[in-house]
Amino acid sequence: MGRTPCCEKKGLKKGPWTPEEDERLIEYINKNGQGSWRALPKLAGLLRCGKSCRLRWTNYLRPDIKRGPFSSEEEKLVIQLHGIVGNRYTLHCALSLVLSIDNIGPGSESRERERGSSSVFPLIAFGLIRKSLERWAAIASQLPGRTDNEIKNLWNTHLKRRLVCMGIDPQTHEPMSTSNGPNRKPSTSPSTRHMAQWESARLEAEARLSKESLLFIPPSLGRTSSDYFLRIWNSEVGESFRDISKGSKNPCQSSISQASSSTTRCGSVSVTTAEIGNPLIGSSATGSTENGDLENKLYADDSMDISDSSSSIELEDSCDTALQLLFDFPANNDMSFLEHSDDYTFCDAIMAESSLNCSP
DNA sequence: AAATGTGTCAACCGCGGGATG
DNA sequence: CCATCCCGCGGTTGACACATT
């Protein structure tokens, strides 16, 4: 309703593309570049709608497309990434964590202690919240040469079935409820497990950040954990997130609002870190009050006087940066941190066993 | 050998949402 | 504020190849 169709349907060709059409499209884009898809068919002399041209180009003709079957490494990566950004459950976990942090206002010292040291984690969570809304593109961005459509097809035709065959819920990446299997530990609540996973990721990020900080700060000056947080806080990443609760145009804020309003509807996660009593936090936290103060500043930003100069573009970059932090660490897309929770990630088992037990 | 079933994948559809003028 | 363009999504279709009966 209201929207005009992307093109006049009459007289336009549908179905498989011919080599001649491909050639025309490639030639046109090589000459004129991408964009203006609506006008492109006419200019290129194609009897296709612009959307069809765009799809053909982005999913098939782009020179950087990698053809051929997915390698086992790629499949494993897709499964792992789907576990992170690929379901709304994770999205809500991230959201809940951010909100739980947000709920800790000045004076809530006990909760601060429970939560432990501050970190880059909220920034990662914000990035993930945003990116979770673009699941296939986010996953595809980590697999050079693969398109989101290709990954979606792979997931729907191969991987999803494989997970089901392995008794794993493809949505939650959890073992199916009724059959935990002989070697499985009693299943912890999904919330707890996801939170443990998140916390594990957070700790890794912190460790890495701390390590990197050693390169920038002379040991003679001494360091506290707040130094590391300050470094992030003073960076452009921090600058962008200082404005998160200001201004409705903020894309992250928008996502948060949307997700927040849907939390009740989906009923997935409404726990806070403190509520689930994540043991990782207690065992590893430094419990720095300096950090708590910093976080109070960070999340009680209604009272902060910050000259708002960050554009949405900067914020977007920062969200990307935050996501990239997660994708990057420890290094080169090594997602082994996911396996720290020893009953959560079954990718290796899946890859090893699927061909034996789940042959179509 | 023919009919039928199944899997795969490129392509399409309709929708929501951000960006822009 | 509104209309339009563009992008990305989930879901689906249809052609084709291959397996099974």
In tens, the pLDDT along A94-111 reads 444 444 433 433 333 333
Q: How far from A274 is each of A91, A182, A318, CA to CA, in Å?
A: 19, 31, 27
Confidence grade of residue A165 (pLDDT, cut at 50, 70, 90)? confident
pLDDT one-digit tens code per residue, A146-160: 887 888 888 888 887
Peptide bond just before A19 cis, omega within 30 deg: no
Confidence grade of residue A72 (pLDDT, cut at 50, 70, 90)? confident
**Nearest-angstrom CA–CA distance, A298 and A244:** 10
Helix or strand (DSSP H, E) at A338: none
Q: What is the DSSP secondary-structure string of A104-149?
A: --TT-HHHHHHH-S--SHHHHHHHHHHHHTTHHHHHHTTSTT--HH
Q: Give the SS3 label for residue A60.
A: helix
User: Residue A121 contacts by C-beta under 8 Å, 6 or more apart in sequence?
Assistant: A97, A198, A199, A201, A202, A205, A206
For residue A153, give the nucleotide whose C1' atom is nearest its CA.
B9
Q: What is the DSSP secondary-structure string of A260-323?
A: HHHHHHHT-----HHHHT-HHHHHH----HHHHHHHHHHH-GGG--------HHHHHHHHHHHH
Q: Does residue A160 reach within 7 angstroms of strand B, measured from its CB? A: no
Q: What is the pLDDT of residue A325?
A: 52
Q: Which two three-digit tokens encode residue A285? A: 């936290």
Q: What is the pLDDT of residue A220?
A: 40
User: Residue A97 contacts by C-beta under 8 Å, 6 or more apart in sequence?
Assistant: A121, A122, A125, A195, A198, A272, A273
Closest CA relative to residue A128, chosen from A173, A82, A169: A82
**Inter-residue contact A85 to A176 (CB < 8 Å):** no
Which of A171-185, A311-325, A344-358 has the highest average model confidence (pLDDT)? Answer: A171-185
Q: Does residue A312 reach within 7 angstroms of strand B, measured from its CB? A: yes
Q: What is the pLDDT of residue A167?
A: 76
Residue A178: CB atoms within 10 Å: 6
**Nearest-angstrom CA–CA distance, A222 and A108:** 28
CA end-to-end distance (rounded Å), chain A: 42
Q: Does residue A121 reach within 7 angstroms of strand B, measured from its CB? A: no
pLDDT one-digit tens code per residue, A215-224: 443 434 444 3
With a pLDDT cut of 70, the percent of chain A lying above it is 31
User: Residue A182 contacts by C-beta under 8 Å, 6 or more apart in sequence?
Assistant: none
Q: Does residue A24 reach within 7 angstroms of strand B, measured from its CB? A: no
Helix or strand (DSSP H, E) at A156: none
Q: Does residue A139 reach within 7 angstroms of strand B, measured from its CB? A: no
- Per-residue pLDDT, averaged over A170-195, amounts to 50
For residue A234, pLDDT over 60 is answered with no
Q: Which two three-digit tokens encode residue A38? A: 């609506």
Q: What is the pLDDT of residue A351?
A: 54
Q: Give the SS3 label for residue A150.
A: helix
- Per-residue pLDDT, averaged over A188-198, amounts to 45
Instruction: Report CA A333 to chain centroid distance, whole Å.
Output: 13
- Per-residue pLDDT, averaged over A284-296, amounts to 34
Q: Which two three-digit tokens encode residue A239? A: 């600058």
Residue A220: CB atoms within 10 Å: 5
**Inter-residue contact A200 to A340 (CB < 8 Å):** yes
**Nearest-angstrom CA–CA distance, A329 and A326:** 6
* pTM for the whole structure: 0.53
Which nucleotides of strand B come closer than 7 angstroms to any CB of the protein? 6-13, 17-19
Determine the distance between A82 (CA) and B5 (C1') in angstroms.
31
Q: What is the pLDDT of residue A246?
A: 38
- Per-residue pLDDT, averaged over A339-354, amounts to 47
Could you list the protein residues whose CB lies below 7 A from any atom in strand C?
A 2-4, 6, 15-16, 34-39, 50-51, 54, 58, 134-138, 140, 148-149, 152-153, 156
For residue A10, pLDDT over 80 is answered with no
Stronger pLDDT, A136 or A311, i.e. the higher one: A136
C-alpha dihedral (A190, A109, A292, A225), degrees to nearest 10: -80
Closest CA relative to residue A122, chosen from A96, A150, A145: A96
Q: Does residue A60 reach within 7 angstroms of strand B, measured from its CB? A: yes
Confidence grade of residue A161 (pLDDT, cut at 50, 70, 90)? confident
Stronger pLDDT, A38 or A181, i.e. the higher one: A38
